[in-house]
């Protein structure tokens, strides 16, 4: 299904409607329209012998609340398949927990620590990782108690943190190389503040010779549009501008459109962005062109609405020597690959430099 047709179908109500009244805790039952998905046994076949893979873990909040086995299975599988698939990094897109409680952070640490010493991983907080009960009324979080700077700062992939909060991990960047290619991953807080975006621009400029990837919790909406408060307002549910953290800070947050205009479009080295956060079917893609003429894909991926906290689904991005990225969504708990057009596709990546 083309992106245009999919958006038309969603807007005409042939997919599940927007759940604007979903409470902050999120249900454990499936909210995703998944009936037409095609699934095949086993992991996706490798596209190239000299390829390498980046794994993506979106919204693990329901695993941490009620289904830890799904989260543990994901990171265990990644370690077991590190060599076979040449897995170079793992990206977590936020909403690590659901309620920002010590008990849920303990689950996250247990699951992510399985990667320690095997695969570097980079994380950002989501709205559920802030405030009492995960309510995102302010920017208080237990993230730094359970994933402190000390855990990352001596790793060879660690680049640095937001210069005004150097001891905190909500905003960080990381450097890694694989397949003869050099990357910088810039991870930003939920609804990044204006000065955080200033810092991110400096990082992107400093590493302009590296392929840049942005991870942040809210960027693309489910209907093939970016979050855009000025244009859509509350017509797009769960925009960072609608949360207490915005109201408490004089609206010092940025959504997807603002991040595109104030960060991504200003640089010619971003190859794609990734975010979670959004419900409905939890999937979306937008490709936009920079002033320099480079196409930058932006992807939403979120499986928390599916049974058992997400049924173990995660995204595998396999890079091949022809400058393509082969996207596949795989569940190690089900041992299934989803081959529908929104779950398995190929991106042509614009070259850097």
Q: pLDDT digits over 35-89, tens only?
A: 446 899 999 999 988 899 999 999 999 999 999 999 999 999 999 999 999 999 9
The residue segments making up the domain with residue 303 are: 54-348
DSSP 194: H
Residues 6 or more apart whose Cβ sits within 8 Å of residue 263: 197, 200, 201, 204, 214
Percent of the chain predicted with pLDDT > 70: 90
Spatial separation of the C-alpha atoms in residues 338 and 31, rounded to whole Å:
17
Least trusted range by pLDDT, from 21-30, 132-141, 207-216, 270-279: 21-30
Is the pLDDT higher at 34 or at 78? 78
Domain total in the chain: 1
Spatial separation of the C-alpha atoms in residues 89 and 178, rounded to whole Å:
9
Q: State the average pLDDT for the chain.
A: 92
Spatial separation of the C-alpha atoms in residues 336 and 56, rounded to whole Å:
16
Least trusted range by pLDDT, from 29-38, 82-91, 131-140: 29-38
36 to each of 33, 339, 342, how far by Cα in Å?
8, 10, 11
Residue 197 CB neighbour total at 10 angstroms? 18
Spatial separation of the C-alpha atoms in residues 6 and 221, rounded to whole Å:
13
What's the whole-model pTM score? Answer: 0.92
pLDDT recorded at residue 6: 56
**CB contact at 8 A, 329 and 313:** yes
Closest CA to 307 of 62, 41, 128, 71: 62
Tell me, yes or no, whether 243 lies in a domain: yes
pLDDT recorded at residue 291: 96
CATH number at residue 79: 3.60.21
Q: The tokens 């969504």 sit on which residue?
A: 329
Tell me, yes or no, whether 7 lies in a domain: no
Confidence of residue 98 (pLDDT cuts 50, 70, 90): very high
**CB contact at 8 A, 248 and 137:** yes
- SS3 for 16? coil
pLDDT recorded at residue 2: 38
């Amino acid at each position: 299904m083309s992106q245009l047709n999919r958006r038309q179908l969603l807007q005409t109500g042939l997919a599940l409607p927007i759940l604007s009244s979903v409470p902050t805790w999120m249900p454990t039952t499936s909210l995703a329209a998944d009936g037409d998905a095609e699934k095949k046994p086993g992991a996706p076949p490798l596209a190239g012998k000299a390829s390498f893979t980046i794994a993506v873990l979106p919204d693990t909040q329901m695993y941490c609340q009620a289904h830890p086995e799904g989260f543990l299975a994901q990171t265990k599988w990644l370690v077991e398949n590190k060599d076979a698939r040449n897995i170079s990094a793992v990206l977590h897109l936020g909403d690590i927990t659901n309620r920002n409680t010590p008990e849920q952070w303990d689950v996250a640490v247990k699951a992510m620590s399985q990667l320690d010493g095997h695969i570097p991983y980079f994380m950002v907080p989501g709205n559920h990782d802030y405030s009492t009960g995960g309510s995102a009324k302010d920017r208080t979080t237990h993230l730094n108690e359970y994933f402190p700077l000390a855990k990352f700062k001596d790793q060879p992939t660690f680049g640095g943190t937001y210069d005004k909060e150097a001891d905190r991990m909500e905003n960080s960047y990381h450097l890694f190389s694989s397949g003869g290619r050099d990357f910088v991953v810039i991870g930003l807080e939920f609804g990044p503040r204006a000065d955080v975006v200033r810092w991110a621009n400096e990082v992107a400029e400093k590493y302009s010779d590296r392929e840049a990837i942005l991870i942040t919790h809210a960027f693309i909406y489910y209907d093939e549009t970016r979050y855009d408060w000025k244009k859509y307002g509350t017509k797009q549910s769960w925009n960072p501008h609608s949360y207490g953290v915005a109201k408490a800070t004089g609206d010092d947050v940025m959504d997807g459109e603002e991040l595109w205009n104030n960060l991504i479009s200003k640089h010619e080295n971003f190859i794609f962005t990734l975010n979670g956060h959004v419900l409905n079917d939890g999937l979306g893609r937008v490709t936009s062109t920079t002033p320099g003429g480079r196409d930058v894909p932006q992807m939403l991926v979120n499986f928390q609405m599916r049974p058992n906290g997400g049924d173990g689904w995660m995204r595998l991005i396999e890079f091949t020597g022809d400058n393509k990225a082969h996207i596949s969504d795989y569940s190690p708990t089900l041992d299934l690959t989803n081959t529908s057009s929104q779950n398995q596709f190929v991106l042509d990546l614009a070259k850097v430099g």
